[in-house]
Amino acid sequence: MKLVSYNVNGIRAAAKKGLYEWIIETDPDIICLQETKAQPEQVDLSVLHEAGYHDYWYSAQKKGYSGVLTLSKKKAKEVQTGMGISQHDDEGRVILTDFGTWTLLNCYFPSGSSSEERHGVKMQFLADLRPWISGLLASQKKLILVGDYNIVHQDKDIHNPSRKDKPSGFRPEERAWMDEWFGSDFKDGYRLIHPDQEDEYSWWSYRAGSRARNKGWRIDYISVSNPLAKKVSDAGHHHDAKHSDHCPVWIDIKL
């Protein structure tokens, strides 16, 4: 099956740029969208329903903010929204869809770029996410967690690793969290296939023609739990999709 993750930076704006047509043409089995910035009643997904997709939403309480949406051709056996922590759940950051033999988590990690306060919220999210995931792994070993993590993991995941200002997204404490994440229960689906690839990014600033010059960051990931690592057969980025300041990331996995 093909699994895609895409921060669309507003599903209504992305739809006007051909998002739905791109999804139908690309035909993933599951596509997880982040930063939908919409409530379900504000969006007409009929064309995707006709293409065979079920839709599972978790929107932020604040209108026009955050939110995640999972579109799957296979109907989920169970859906769970949130982590049980209102600080994060009110922002619509995590939706779980269980398919019986494996479980998918679609996540939009907080950005800390706007202020030190928001960076603190981000670090609290990371601290809270890890034990919650450990609890899930106790009963379901086959987990996939996709989304916009808003963190650069390695130097090769950013175009200018020598920068000294260390913005949120490239700070030692959050990169250390990623080291532990990919060094214990999970593997980076993209790096399983392309361990040494450089200059491959998933987000570019709208400023200074960054995308055209490929001055980007790789901050969108598909993490697979260790029992699934050998099931990943291919992975990459859809650079043709330009409905957002991100591009979709994808894996092919034998489930």
Q: What is the pLDDT of residues 178-191, one digit of tens each?
A: 999 999 999 999 99
Check residue 204 and give its pLDDT.
Answer: 98
Q: What is the pLDDT of residues 115-158, one digit of tens each?
A: 999 999 999 999 999 999 999 999 999 999 999 999 999 999 99
Q: Residue 211: which pLDDT band, with cuts at 50, 70 and 90?
A: very high
Q: Residue 55: which pLDDT band, with cuts at 50, 70 and 90?
A: very high
CATH number of 2-253: 3.60.10.10
Query: What is the DSSP code (8-state) at residue 42?
Result: G
Check residue 238 and give its pLDDT.
Answer: 98
Query: What is the DSSP code (8-state) at residue 185?
Result: T
Question: Which residues contact residue 195 at a Cβ distance below 8 angstroms, ignoring those fewer than 6 apart?
Answer: none
Regarding pTM above 0.85, the answer is yes
Residue reference for tokens 């026009």:
64
Interval 103-112 mean pLDDT: 98
Check residue 193 and give its pLDDT.
Answer: 98
Residues 105/144, Cβ–Cβ less than 8 Å: yes
SS3 114: coil
Check residue 182 and give its pLDDT.
Answer: 98
The domain locations on the chain are 2-253
Catalytic residue list: 148
Check residue 135 and give its pLDDT.
Answer: 98
User: Six-digit token pair at 123?
Assistant: 């670090």
* DSSP H/E element including 196: none
